[in-house]
Amino acid sequence: MLNRLLHREYQPSAGDWDREYASGHWRYLAGLPEMARMAVIVGYAAAAGSPNPVILDVGCGEGTLLKALRDLPYRTYRGIDLSPVAIERARASAGPRDSFEAVGADVLTPDEAPDIIIFNEVLYYLKDVEQLVSRYLSMLGPEGIAIVSVHVRRRHNHIWRSLGRVGRIVDQVMVRHSIGTAWQIALIKPPE
Ligand SMILES: C[S@@+](CC[C@H](N)C(=O)[O-])C[C@H]1O[C@@H](n2cnc3c(N)ncnc32)[C@H](O)[C@@H]1O
């Protein structure tokens, strides 16, 4: 309980994230142990309703997921993140369909309705998951979906309860790597 309360209040600033990215702390997210988890996200994105989706990646970090998504026939990919350092690095891998912006998830208003919204290892850091995810689900175009990846920890169970209250978890997979880390990845649709 204490853990959960503490974690709920753990919201590093943009400067904190910048320092961590500058130090190389998050480089491991591009490593092999993350590959299977990313592959499930890509699989869900490929199976989504829209043939040429508009993708919004919330908390995209250095753009690691974009490299895995690149072969999909998406129309546009937009990555947003609180950290200008991460965004600067992500821009190096942007192609003509891609854009990156240093902006907080709480203030973003997309100019185009996304078909796929991705929350990849970011929900832990958001102030009010329920309110924020609910707002993002309401931005989705018809047939739109959200894809969520969350590290398996008891203290993260509240995230799944929040997601269940604001959306429909229509499919869910657990990926467990031999290093001992596990993630749950889910495909979520807005309430009917
Ligand atoms: C664990 S990293 C995951 C990065 C990326 N999704 C990946 O899996 O490679 C969490 C990311 O969330 C970003 N973040 C944290 N709070 C945020 C917020 N309020 N709005 C946007 N991004 C945020 C951080 O800057 C960081 O890049």
C-alpha of residue 27 to centroid of ligand 1, in Å? 13
Q: How far is the CA of 120 from the centre of ligand 1 (A)?
A: 8
pTM for the model: 0.94
Give the residue, by CA position, lying nearest to ligand 1 atom 10: 122
> How many structural domains comprise the chain?
1
CATH number at residue 90: 3.40.50.150
Contacts of 184 (CB under 8 A, 6+ apart): 149, 150, 152, 160, 172, 173, 174
Task: Specify the DSSP element, H or E, that contains 158.
Answer: helix 157-166
* % of residues, the chain, pLDDT over 70: 95
Ligand 1 atom showing the smallest separation from residue 86 Cα: 27
Query: How much is the mean pLDDT over the chain?
Result: 93
Q: Which residue has the higher pLDDT, 2 or 127?
A: 127
22 CA distance to ligand 1 middle (Å) = 14
What residue owns the CA closest to ligand 1's atom 17?
A: 82
Report the separation in Å between the CA atom of 2 and the middle of ligand 1, taken as the mean of its atom positions.
Answer: 23
Range of the domain at 129: 2-189
List, for residues 75-117, the tens digit of each pLDDT value: 999 999 999 999 999 999 999 999 999 999 999 988 899 999 9
